[in-house]
Amino acid sequence: MDRLMAMSTFIRVIETGSFSAAARHLRVGQPAVSKAVAQLEERLGVRLLSRTTRGLSPTDAGLSFYEGAKRAVDEADEAENAARGTAAALTGLLRIGTSVTFGRLHVVPRLKAFLDAHPRLDVEVAMDDRNVDLVEEGVDVMLRLGESFAPAHIGRKIAACRRLVVAAPSYLAREGEPIAPDELSRHEAILFVRAGTSNRWTFRRGAEEVSLAGQGRLRVTSAEGIREAVLSGIGFTVGSEWMFDAELRSGAVRPILTEWTLPPVELRALFPAGRKASARARTFVEFLAGSL
């Protein structure tokens, strides 16, 4: 048994959730995947997977082995890439995690250029607004906007952008345009509601500072919902320029209170703690930073 190949196979089974999906990724038959995992279990003398009618899940021993196997395979890949002396030789699977809206607007549209530059690399994008465990989900790099991150993650700032107060022209024509932050209390705020997210805003203009809590009847738990509510003319929101980039350029939404500034939103790449970020993850982060 080729131990490194068996480890790679087991990693794919964990990350895809089934023998058949792993076989498709590896371009081999499903019996070959099952045999590789069985040989690993026999060699180690432990069960790595629990098999139920609902699918596969790693045992405690399997999760521990997955972590060690992931490090070993990543290090072997890095050694090969270093020997080749080119990032174009990146191989294997890169799993990227991102929020739904940022992924749809700013990650997926940029992937063609990244895939073209690395033809031997497979990419899987997990788009989810919830906070996930990078190790359990098998994520190599998680992209998060303006959020605190757990000690189990290592973070690196990629970029930052402005936060703006935005509203649709139809709303402003109907309700009027506020010219000072304290006038926002008389308008309908569309509030983003999620753990770790604050709807208290601090505006600055020169030496002036105004802090206030957003008030509104509509609360939404996803950025996609916030966007649709603003575009529908329901009210205003405070969001990142990235969130409304195309609409700001087209005029579908307008920035207001532009003489005032808000703290910027940072985009961070999160990596699992205790594991060196893979060459695949580092290369993608550098690509995205340059692209943004």
Residue 265 has pLDDT above 50, yes or no: yes
For the chain, the domains span 1-85, 91-147+273-292, 163-263
Q: Which residue type, as a one-letter code, is found at position 194?
A: R
Radius of gyration of the chain (CA): 23
Kindly report, residue by residue over 183-237, the tens digit of the pLDDT.
Answer: 999 999 999 887 667 788 999 999 999 999 888 899 998 899 999 999 999 999 9
pLDDT tens-digit readout, 63-113 = 888 878 887 777 777 666 666 665 546 888 888 999 899 999 999 999 999
Fold of 163-263: D-Maltodextrin-Binding Protein; domain 2 (3.40.190)
In this chain, the answer to whether the domains covering 91-147+273-292 and 163-263 adopt an identical fold is yes
Domain 1-85 has CATH 1.10.10.10: yes
Share of the chain above pLDDT 70, in %: 87
Q: SS in 3 state form for 176-235?
A: CCCCCHHHHHHCCEEEECCCCCCCEEEEEECCEEEEEECCCCEEECCHHHHHHHHHCCCC
Partners of 51 in the β-ladder: 56
Chain centroid, CA 39 distance in Å = 35
pLDDT tens-digit series, residues 157-170? 888 899 999 999 99
Residue 28 has pLDDT above 70, yes or no: yes
Query: What kind of architecture, by CATH, is found in domain 91-147+273-292?
Result: 3-Layer(aba) Sandwich (3.40)
